[in-house]
Amino acid sequence: MSEFNFQQNIQIKRVILVSSVVIFLMMGTYLNNTETQFETYEYPAISESIRERPIRSTTVARNNSYYDIMNMPQIEFNNLYKNPCWVGTDENGPLDDEKFHCLPYFYILGVKKSGTTDLFTRISKHPQFARPDMKESQWLTRIRFGVNAQYKSVQAILQRTKLDVRSVGFYVSMFDTAASSIMRTVTNIDDRAPYFRMITGDATPANLHMHTKWSKLPGNEGLTEPKYTNFHYIKHLTPEAKIIIIFREPVSRMLSDYLYLNRLRPTLIPEKFHRDSVRLTKAYEKCFLTYSQRRCIYNETLKETLRKTGTGMTPSFTAGFYAFYLKEIYEVFDKSNVLPILMTDYTENMKNVLSKVFDFLELDQPSTEQWKPILVKSIENESKFKRVKMLSKTKRLLEHFYRPHNEEMAKLLNDSRYLF
């Protein structure tokens, strides 16, 4: 080997070694400063002129201002289908493709870590349910802003449709599998025409409390409180949608979520959970003294400030304002279209609660044989960290903080069980 080649090899090895060290240090910084992927993701600039950026697709998506859902013409659904379905044309729907499409008949809006996965799984075993490709679309809260767009299920839709993830058309395409089942399953035929009774749903718990970038979305610019929230977008897309929310005692629910997000570092949880709980309660108590409850709960600056201090549980913490969010939903949806469920009632009287859910969704009550797979004993997405306990001082702190909100919830539903 020549002297030149020898020196060159030495130089290359040094560069590789230095690069490896830099990458290692960067990764260490990233892991230390990151609570979740969602909180560190850089969102695309919403203020950017979307209309100047044509869609790279052979499918026409008419609503080019992707984030402006409220100004999108409402879809005319085919009344032969119980589920909101239609054929995409130049005059109807976000996709002009002459294909059959559906949106959810119902939404499970939350609350996270309250049994939403288990409830959705059992509903999906009903013979009149058409299961979509995924339990929760996460489109309103994450995917349309580029977050979690790397998931295989999302990438598969991108490859198949070539649609922009920001478009309503992309959200519609997330239910193509369910739409195919609904289209070919006739469950009623009378003298006039067939009637299709299959339904599908979206169980994204984050839709309740994560109103991502609301202050930059059309119609909300310059406001201190949102004119439009996720609830308005759901109502605009599916006006007759049915809403299901399952509620759990807020303190244990918050810990359960904390354990899940910090599952790689369980030994540090009790102390860190207490530290974050102190910061969160102090921040929101101070805000409530100065501003309206609505302004504080939707305040993005407050959440960002807490995140920068290393407090990553703000979304889970604010999800515990049950009465607030339920009143927000009642402002948009008729109460007859909303079904609140208490988690303890669900776990202790599962068949009775599911029977009420099926009635609410106007599904046939299952036969004896059909109930068997629905009531299978295994619990979906059950916590694996039950042995980790919060400190007693943390429990007292959070119970004291949530007490007035629980009292408001009990009054709103006229049900003392929500006093927890």
Classify residue 18: in a domain, yes or no: no
Nearest alpha carbon to residue 46 among 218, 265, 241, 287? 218
Q: How far apart are CA 288 and CA 277, in angstroms?
A: 16
Classify residue 35: in a domain, yes or no: no
| Residue that has been written with the tokens 């102390």 in this structure | 271
Instruction: Give me the CATH number covering residue 167.
Output: 3.40.50.300
Classify residue 289: in a domain, yes or no: yes
Domain tally for the chain?
1
Range of the domain at 365: 61-419
In this prediction the pTM is 0.83
> How would you write the chain as a 3-class SS string?
CCHHHHHHHHHHHHHHHHHHHHHHHHHHHHHHHCCCHHHHCCCCCCCCCHHHCCCCCCCEECCCCCCCHHHCCCCCCCCCECCCEEECECCECCEECCCEEECCCEEEEECCCCCHHHHHHHHHCCCCECCCCCCCCCCCCCHHHCCCCCCHHHHHHHHHHCCCCCCHHHHHHCCHHHHHHHHCCCCEECCCCEEECCECEECCCHHHHCCCCHHHCCCCCCCCCCCCCHHHHHHHHCCCCEEEEEECCHHHHHHHHHHHHCCCCHHHHHHHHHHHHHHHHHHHHHHHHHCCHHHHHHCHHHHHHHHHCCCCCHHHHHCCCHHHHHHHHHHHCCHHHEEEEEHHHHHHCHHHHHHHHHHHCCCCCCCHHHHHHHCCCCCCCCCCCCCCCCCHHHHHHHHHHHHHHHHHHHHHHCCHHHHC
Classify residue 280: in a domain, yes or no: yes
Q: HSE-up of 113 (CA within 13 Å, CB side)?
A: 23
Contacts of 305 (CB under 8 A, 6+ apart): 283
Tokens (6 digits) for 322: 């049950």
Tokens (6 digits) for 12: 């290359």
Residue 247, strand partner residues: 342
Residue-level pLDDT, tens digit, the chain, 420 residues: 444 444 444 444 443 443 443 333 333 333 333 333 333 323 233 333 222 233 333 333 344 368 999 999 999 999 999 999 999 999 999 999 999 999 999 999 989 999 999 999 999 999 999 999 889 999 999 999 988 888 888 999 999 999 999 999 999 999 999 999 999 988 776 666 788 999 999 999 999 999 999 999 999 999 999 999 999 999 999 999 999 999 999 999 999 998 888 776 666 688 999 999 999 999 999 999 999 999 999 999 999 999 999 887 899 999 999 999 999 999 999 999 999 999 999 999 999 999 999 999 999 999 999 999 999 977 666 655 556 789 999 999 999 999 999 999 999 999 999 999
Classify residue 41: in a domain, yes or no: no
Classify residue 183: in a domain, yes or no: yes
Classify residue 39: in a domain, yes or no: no
Residue 341, strand partner residues: 246
* pLDDT score for 341: 98
Question: Position 400: which residue type?
Answer: H
Nearest alpha carbon to residue 297 among 257, 339, 327, 341? 327
* pLDDT score for 120: 97
Decide: 170 and 157 in contact? Cβ < 8 Å.
yes
Classify residue 52: in a domain, yes or no: no
